[in-house]
Structure formats: structure tokens, C-alpha cells
Chain A
Amino acid sequence: MRVWLSQDAAARALGADAVAAALRREAAARGVALDLVRTGSHGMVWLEPLLEIAGPHGRMAFGPMTPADVPALFERPAAHPRALGPTQSLDWMARQTRLTFARCGINDPLDLSAYEAAGGLAGLRKALAMPPAEVVRAVTESGLRGRGGAGFPAGIKWKTAAGAAAAQKYVVCNADEGDSGTFADRMLIEGDPFCLIEGMAIAGHAIGATRGYVYLRSEYPDAIGILTRALAVARSEGVLGPQVLGRGAAFDIELRIGAGAYVCGEETSLLNSIEGLRPVVRAKPPLPAIEGLFGRPTVVNNVITLASVPVILDRGADFYRDFGIGRSRGTIPLQLAGNVRRGGLFEAAFGLTLAEIVDDLAGGTASGRPVKAVQVGGPLGAYFPRALFDTPFGYEEYAGRDGLIGHAGIVVFDDSVDMLAQARFAMEFCAIESCGKCTPCRVGAVRGVETIDRIARGDAAARSLLAELCDTMKYGSLCALGGFTPYPVMSALAHFPQDFDRAREAAE
């Protein structure tokens, strides 16, 4: 009997390993030959541990599984209390446009032949047959923008690095996914690591780089283990090495592990970290595309940006660009998190409204209480009230409402949340994680905590002071950490002023 069972960290966190052990025990006791394939996750975290067996209409899903649910699987699976039906027909799966995550959750992430059979390496093969400038043009025409949060057009960055003359260039993958509410990078690396490797190899060909680095955070031990092994497989099978796929130039990737610093997700801090310097932020210019790692031309892209490149090369720039709205082209892996009934990853074309995402996809709160606020885009993203739930998911659409989509993490809070406490936390987090190089961030965040504490004590004058402080941080900080911390703070103040009044009333 063949069984597919997720080994994604979220599935393991919810007991997948115990289910695997129960499967082995039960199969042995019944004398059934068990072929257990540990896969990545389909992204339906509320159904994890999710298990699949072959059925007449494709794989049949069961979840959330516990060890106690395992014996019945060997009896009449169709009548199993955890039976969900064919995986691909589940509402959550059927409604997605899975381009970047097309293979995630399906196969053993280290099975390169399964990767190829599912369409993997087709993009790289096509890219290697094209002149590098054509590859850059395809990425530019696809409209792909930086999925790490900055939203900078990937093709322009690539073109800049491609045009810079240097003996050594680099492709650096930013896998320092520190934003709360985001786990797309982790899920992709744990579920389909060859997709990232393929995207980086394409980038190497496009810009003329022979070396790549993946900077992966230490908080993701499972992803570290899988990517380490995937790189070894890619090397031994000739996807990486002196001649990519036997026809390209040399390209190899080294994995670097972070050491717990949120600011290292900022690209220049990340480069300093790889170089072995104290990872403070660098002033720009020079742009990393011209003077990046070790002062050489470097493309720094997020995991999802790079992992979206293979499908663009395989299916064409037009195919990708035809999804989306406005200047937000293609698809985005939405990550539904926090207090949600259905949490997980949902890849869709840009354009879904926040109401569709929160009320429909996520099904409201897990607690059953009304949604009060939704933080979009990580700890530097704005808190949106229900009044803004008509905002379509897109870079400009969120910027136009004083928010940001960031890395597409969506964290839902119910009505028990205290928005003054959330604003305070944003400042506290910035103070803890500031690299200390620029004053608005280093000092501003500490003063921000103090100022919010004054508001909490009923000091009404502190409110305008907070607004001024946020202005200084926004316009005076060197990077997005100090520059964007005002988003959660000011959105909390603007949209939930009653939470900042309550303390004063108590004081009076």
C-alpha cells in the first residue's frame, strides 16, 4: 500500500511523525507492504497531518490524522471518518492557481526524477537554449516583482547585474523569511527544493554568475536539512556543478545558515552576514546588482521570486503575466495565519479582496469571534480594519491604503486583540531587531515604546508626538525595518483609536 504523508514542519508540528510511526506499526501487524512517501505540504495546514492514498480519481486525502485514525485506513478507506475526497477536488485546491507551488506536496522533495516527471527542469532546459539576454527579457516581460516584499521588478535587477562587467558575479537567494505570518519560503524549500535550485540556475545563466548562495534562517531546521540534501542530489545529478545539465556554464550553490537576526532579511545586511561582517545595513547606492556580495554584481532575490522563474521560462512570459491585476502580475502565495479557521498557503492570481481571503478562504477566526484586525505583510505591515476589506491584493492597491503586501502573510486577529499592545509590540520588535546603524530606527524604536506607554497612561499629548516620531522613522531610516515600523503603529492608531482612548478613560 502506498501512502503519501506530509513531512512539512507544520505537519510534523501537528503530529505527522506519530502518524507515520502508527502506519508502520499497523502495516507490520497486518502484514501489509507499506510504501510510505513523505512529501511536502499541500498547504492545508488545518488538515495536517494530511495523508493520501491512491484512489480511482487520483489521490484521496485524509486529515487531520491522528495515530488512532490509522487502523481504519486499512479497513474501508472510503468510509473513514477522516476521508476528505480526492485531494485535487478539494475546494481549497481546486480554486488555486498553482504555478510556483505546482509540485509542492505531491512528491518526495528529494526525488529528482519525480521532479522532472512533474515538469521540473523544463524551464532551465529552455533557458539554457536561449541567449542570457533573452532570459532576462522573459523575466522582465512576465512582470515578476520581488516577492520578498519590496516588489522591485526582477527583470530590471537581473538586467543591471547582467550588464555589469566582473570576473565573478553572484545569485543570492534570500531565504531569511522572518516575517510573522509567512511560511511560503519554508514550505517551498521543504516541499519542492529543486524548484528553487532550478530558478537560481536560470538566474546564474541569465546574469553570468557561477556562484549562488542561499541564506536560510536557523529557525527552519527542517528546511535546512532538506535543502542540504537537495543540493547534494542536484550536484550529483549534474543540475549544479561545472556544467549545468551538461550544456550550460558552471553554477553551484552554497547554503548559509543565519543566526537569528530579523534584519538579515534586508538584502544588504544579508550580504554583510555572508561576508562575515557585522550585519548592519549598507547605504544604497551602490545597488547590490552592481556592487553586492564582496563588492561584485549580485542579484538578491527572495525564494518565491526565484522559484517562480522556472514556470515563466517553461510556459512563457505572457502566460505568467496574464494572471493578476494592474502592475501586480502573476500569482502570489497567500499565507493565511494567526487566528483563522482554515490556515495555510493559497496560491492565487493577484486581485483577491481581503474579505474574500479572510472571510471566505480562511473561514473567519478559529476562536469564532468577530475579526477585528488583519495585519498584512509581516511585522512591518499595516493593520487593516474591516472597512478596508475591499482592498484587492496587489502592491499598489495596498500602498494606496497606507499598507503593504510584503511577503503576503495575512495574520488575523479577533476582537480580543488590544491594538495599543500591537502598536507597542511593533516598536519593541524594531528596538530588539534594529541593527543600530541609523538613529531613527535605533533610537526611534525605543522612544516609540516609551511614547506608546505614555499614551497608555492617558497622556493625550503623546499621540501627536508618536505621529511625529513615526514620520521621522519613516523618512529617515536607512532600511525598511525602521522605515516601515510606522505602518503597524500608525495604522493601529488610525483605524482603532478607541484602543488608544481606553487607557485615558481608565486614568480619568
Chain B
Amino acid sequence: MPSTSVVNGARIRAIIAEHAGREGPLLPILLAIQEEWGHLPREALPVVAEALNLTRAEVFGVASFYHDLREAPPGRHVLRLCRAEACQAVGAAALAEAAQARLGIGWGETTADGAVTLEPVFCLGLCACGPAALVDGRPVGRLDALGLDALLAEVR
């Protein structure tokens, strides 16, 4: 992953060029930038705006809308816990409390050692085997406090 402190304008312009031929390229571009930097650096937005002939406000309006687009880099691992109804029915709220207590962080926060970012998610489509989680993109079902400890031990 490139340095997160220095945003490489040339690389951003290359990403923009890759998507320039598409209809409605803005969201794919923002996702591609986040894919590369792990977050959406604020400095990238004016570069995108200029390339697509949009105002900075228009680009910011899109970038600020979506839960997935982050302003700050996440931890080395991202734990997304489902908070939606089907998982609530099988104990998701208690699991979320346990996760926050064990990590010592709240939703959207990263542990001080930079190991884990905890994010809420509203449904992973794993509603028949909840509580569900996504650990660095890997689906996990029927997660309980014990399973959570094992997962955290694995990633820390």
C-alpha cells in the first residue's frame, strides 16, 4: 500500500483515466482510490473534480454520502459486525457489546495498536446463520463471544 500521508497525484490521475470511458465514472473512481489507499484522502477529491469537470462540492457530496468511503485509513484488519434485525434476533446486540468491550473501541473506531477497525454493517445476507460478520472480507456465521475471541486472537 502506498504511503497514506502523501497522495500521489499522478497515480490518482491514472486511476481516473482507467475509468474515464465509463458512463457515470465518479463512484467507481472513488472506490478505486479507496482500494489503493485504504481510505479516500481528502486531497484526492479536487483532483477528481477537476478531471471529471465537476465542482468540489459535487464530488464531496458523493464521497460523504456512503458509509463505505472512509476519510481516515482503517486498521490492519476490519471487523464488520451485522447490526440488522435477523442478527438481532440471535444476539447481535450482545455480541456487539462484547466486541466493543474486548477491543475497547466504539463503532467506526480503530484500536490504539492499529490492529482492528470495528464497523457496523446492516446486513451481510447471512441472515439464516447469524450473528454474522465480515472479517477482512471473509464471511463468518453464528459468531458468539468465544468465536469472537478466536477471531480477534487470529488477527491481532
CB within 8 Å of B: which residues of A? 9-10, 12-14, 45-46, 48, 177-183, 185-187, 218-222, 254, 256-262, 273-279, 294, 335-340, 343-345, 366-367, 375, 379, 409, 411-414, 417, 422, 425, 429, 432-433, 435
> Cβ of B89: which chain A residues have Cβ within 8 Å of it?
337-339, 411-414, 417
Q: Complex Cα distance A337/B92, Å? A: 14
> Cβ of A345: which chain B residues have Cβ within 8 Å of it?
128
Q: Complex Cα distance A12/B28, Å? A: 27
Q: Are B62 and A276 in contact (CB under 8 A)?
A: yes
* B interface secondary structure, majority: loop
> Cβ of A411: which chain B residues have Cβ within 8 Å of it?
85-86, 89, 127
Q: Complex Cα distance A464/B36, Å? A: 51
Q: Complex Cα distance A435/B64, Å? A: 11
With contacts A219-B134, A278-B65 taken as known, whether A181 is within 8 angstroms of B27 at the C-beta atoms is no
Question: What's the minimum C-beta distance from A327 to chain B, rounded to whole angstroms?
Answer: 27
With contacts A46-B128, A279-B65, A411-B86 taken as known, whether A14 is within 8 angstroms of B141 at the C-beta atoms is yes
Interface residues of B in 137-154 (CB under 8 A from A): 137-142
> Cβ of B124: which chain A residues have Cβ within 8 Å of it?
9, 219-220
Q: Are B128 and A183 in contact (CB under 8 A)?
A: yes
Q: List 12 A-B contacts (CB under 8 A).
A: A9-B124, A9-B125, A13-B129, A13-B141, A181-B86, A186-B125, A218-B31, A274-B23, A274-B27, A279-B65, A345-B128, A417-B89
With contacts A177-B125, A180-B127 taken as known, whether A259 is within 8 angstroms of B66 at the C-beta atoms is yes
Q: Are A260 and B68 in contact (CB under 8 A)?
A: yes
Q: Are B128 and A180 in contact (CB under 8 A)?
A: no
Question: What's the minimum C-beta distance from B21 to chain A, rounded to whole angstroms?
Answer: 11
Question: What's the minimum C-beta distance from A272 to chain B, rounded to whole angstroms?
Answer: 9
CB within 8 Å of A: which residues of B? 22-28, 30-31, 52, 58, 61-62, 65-69, 82, 84-90, 121-130, 132, 134, 137-142
> Cβ of A343: which chain B residues have Cβ within 8 Å of it?
127-129
From B62, B66, B122, B134, contact of A180 by CB (8 A): B122
Q: Complex Cα distance A378/B79, Å? A: 24
> Cβ of A12: which chain B residues have Cβ within 8 Å of it?
138-139
- Which of B31, B122, B138 has the most C-beta atoms of chain A within 10 angstroms of its own C-beta? B122
Q: Complex Cα distance A262/B68, Å? A: 12
Q: Are B68 and A218 in contact (CB under 8 A)?
A: yes
> Cβ of A335: which chain B residues have Cβ within 8 Å of it?
127-128
Q: Complex Cα distance A193/B65, Å? A: 30
> Cβ of B25: which chain A residues have Cβ within 8 Å of it?
276
Q: Are A262 and B122 in contact (CB under 8 A)?
A: yes
Q: Are B134 and A221 in contact (CB under 8 A)?
A: yes
Question: What's the minimum C-beta distance from B37 to chain A, rounded to whole angstroms?
Answer: 15
Question: What's the minimum C-beta distance from B120 to chain A, rounded to whole angstroms?
Answer: 9
Question: What's the minimum C-beta distance from A117 to chain B, rounded to whole angstroms?
Answer: 28
> Cβ of B137: which chain A residues have Cβ within 8 Å of it?
221
Q: Complex Cα distance A256/B139, Å? A: 21
* Chain A residue nearest in CB terms to B139: A13
> Cβ of A10: which chain B residues have Cβ within 8 Å of it?
125-126, 128-129, 139, 141
* A interface secondary structure, majority: mixed
Q: Are B123 and A259 in contact (CB under 8 A)?
A: no
Q: Complex Cα distance A331/B139, Å? A: 29
> Cβ of A275: which chain B residues have Cβ within 8 Å of it?
23-24
Q: Are B127 and A409 in contact (CB under 8 A)?
A: yes
> Cβ of B86: which chain A residues have Cβ within 8 Å of it?
180-181, 337-338, 409, 411
> Cβ of A256: which chain B residues have Cβ within 8 Å of it?
27-28
Q: Are A219 and B85 in contact (CB under 8 A)?
A: no
> Cβ of A429: which chain B residues have Cβ within 8 Å of it?
84, 122
Q: Are B27 and A180 in contact (CB under 8 A)?
A: no
> Cβ of A273: which chain B residues have Cβ within 8 Å of it?
27
Q: Are B127 and A182 in contact (CB under 8 A)?
A: yes
Q: Are A336 and B134 in contact (CB under 8 A)?
A: no
* Chain B residue nearest in CB terms to A218: B68
> Cβ of A186: which chain B residues have Cβ within 8 Å of it?
125
- Which of B26, B137, B141 has the most C-beta atoms of chain A within 10 angstroms of its own C-beta? B141
Q: Are B128 and A259 in contact (CB under 8 A)?
A: no
Q: Complex Cα distance A277/B25, Å? A: 10
> Cβ of A274: which chain B residues have Cβ within 8 Å of it?
23-24, 27
Q: Are B69 and A180 in contact (CB under 8 A)?
A: no
Q: Are A277 and B62 in contact (CB under 8 A)?
A: yes
* Chain B residue nearest in CB terms to A278: B61
> Cβ of B24: which chain A residues have Cβ within 8 Å of it?
274-276, 294
Q: Are A219 and B128 in contact (CB under 8 A)?
A: no
Q: Are B122 and A422 in contact (CB under 8 A)?
A: no
Q: Are A259 and B31 in contact (CB under 8 A)?
A: yes
With contacts A273-B27, A411-B85 taken as known, whether A9 is within 8 angstroms of B127 at the C-beta atoms is no
* Chain B residue nearest in CB terms to A170: B23
Q: Complex Cα distance A39/B141, Å? A: 19
Q: Complex Cα distance A434/B124, Å? A: 19
Q: Complex Cα distance A177/B123, Å? A: 9
Question: What's the minimum C-beta distance from B148 to chain A, rounded to whole angstroms?
Answer: 14
From A46, A180, A366, A435, contact of B87 by CB (8 A): A180
Q: Are A179 and B140 in contact (CB under 8 A)?
A: no
* Chain A residue nearest in CB terms to B62: A278
> Cβ of A181: which chain B residues have Cβ within 8 Å of it?
84-86, 123, 127
> Cβ of A340: which chain B residues have Cβ within 8 Å of it?
128
> Cβ of A379: which chain B residues have Cβ within 8 Å of it?
84-85, 122
